[in-house]
Amino acid sequence: MKRKDLLIKPFSTEKLAEYLNELAAASDELQKSVEKSKEGSLHVVMRGDYCMYYHRKNSKDKSGTYIKKRNIDVAKALAQKDYDIAVLKEIHKEKKMIEKLKIQLVILVIH
């Protein structure tokens, strides 16, 4: 067995394409979630042993509006939105790396 066959088999273009489809599906789902979510972002301030949550409605807003304990669901929703946005960025980076890897595999197979 040739060395390049060993390299190509675990990283077949078909498996990479399948994984890209999975990433695309996850990305679409997260994008829909972000679009449906509340506008703005969460700002967390630590005060001793507890946290204070603020709703920043736009990027220019330095501190935001305080979120009272009875509205903790707003803080949870904003935290989920921030997390979803971070995951979307990572998915985008991973998709770019996989596309580069696919190109390199095609070049390797040709040579």
- What single string gives the DSSP state of each residue in 8-51? HGGG-HHHHHHHHHHHHHHHHHHHHHHHHSPSSEEEEEEETTEE
Between 95 and 1, whose confidence is greater? 95
CA distance 87 to 99: 18
- The predicted pLDDT at position 11 comes to 61
Residues of the chain with pLDDT > 70, as a percent, come to 83
Instruction: Report residue 5 as tokens.
Output: 């066959």
Mean pLDDT, residues 54-58 taken together: 93
**Does the model's pTM come out above 0.85?**
no
- The predicted pLDDT at position 33 comes to 94
CA distance 50 to 40: 22
